Amino acid sequence: DAGVIQSPRHEVTEMGQEVTLRCKPISGHNSLFWYRQTMMRGLELLIYFNNNVPIDDSGMPEDRFSAKMPNASFSTLKIQPSEPRDSAVYFCASRRAGGMNEQFFGPGTRLTVL
Amino acid sequence: AQSVSQHNHHVILSEAASLELGCNYSYGGTVNLFWYVQYPGQHLQLLLKYFSGDPLVKGIKGFEAEFIKSKFSFNLRKPSVQWSDTAEYFCAVIDYGGSQGNLIFGKGTKLSVKP
- Is the pLDDT at B21 greater than 70, yes or no? yes
pLDDT one-digit tens code per residue, B62-87: 999 999 999 999 999 999 999 999 99
* Higher pLDDT pick, A69 / B32: A69
pLDDT one-digit tens code per residue, A82-103: 999 999 999 999 998 765 678 8
CB A109 within 8 A of CB A9: yes
**Mean pLDDT, range A27-48, rounded to an integer:** 91
Maximum CA pair distance of chain A? Answer: 40
Number of neighbours of residue A40 by Cβ within 10 angstroms:
7
CB B82 within 8 A of CB B93: no
pLDDT at B97: 61
- Is the pLDDT at A66 greater than 80, yes or no? yes
pLDDT at B96: 66
**Partners of B37 in beta bridges:** B45, B89
Nearest CA in chain A to B107: A42
Q: A-chain residues within 8 Å CB-CB of B9?
A: none
Residues 6-25 of B with CB under 8 A from A: none
CB A74 within 8 A of CB A90: no
**Mean pLDDT, range B38-56, rounded to an integer:** 91
Instruction: Indicate yes or no: CB of B108 within 8 angstroms of CB of A43.
Output: yes
pLDDT confidence bin for B100, thresholds 50/70/90: low
- Is the pLDDT at B42 greater than 70, yes or no? yes
pLDDT at B99: 52
Instruction: Indicate yes or no: CB of A48 within 8 angstroms of CB of B94.
Output: no
Q: Round to whole Å and give the CA distance between B29 and B93.
A: 12
- Is the pLDDT at A55 greater than 90, yes or no? no
pLDDT at B73: 95
Instruction: Indicate yes or no: CB of B106 within 8 angstroms of CB of A95.
Output: no
Does the CB of B34 have a partner CB in chain A at under 8 Å?
yes
